[in-house]
Amino acid sequence: MGIPVRGTLGIVITAKLRGVIPAARPVLEQLRLCGMYLSDRVINQSLALVGE
């Protein structure tokens, strides 16, 4: 059907790039606190993509 698949991390990155959220780091940290597993490497790479 041509519908792109995007995960939680992809949504956070897109929201930051579109200016919907001011910063991605607090959102990613909150996701971690709520039990989502995100490695330091994945978080650092994601933040680098959005210039944080």
**pTM score over 0.85:** no
Model pLDDT, residue 24: 97
CA distance 36 to 45: 17
Does pLDDT of 50 surpass 90?
A: yes
Contact 51, 22 (CB under 8 A): no
Model pLDDT, residue 1: 87
Q: How does pLDDT run across 7-33, given as a tens digit for each residue? A: 999 999 999 999 999 999 999 999 999
Q: Position of tokens 């992809």?
A: 10
- Tokens (6 digits) for 43: 């978080």
Q: How confident is the model at residue 43 (pLDDT cuts 50, 70, 90)?
A: very high
- 50 closest CA partner among 3, 5, 7, 9: 9
Q: Position of tokens 């956070």?
A: 12
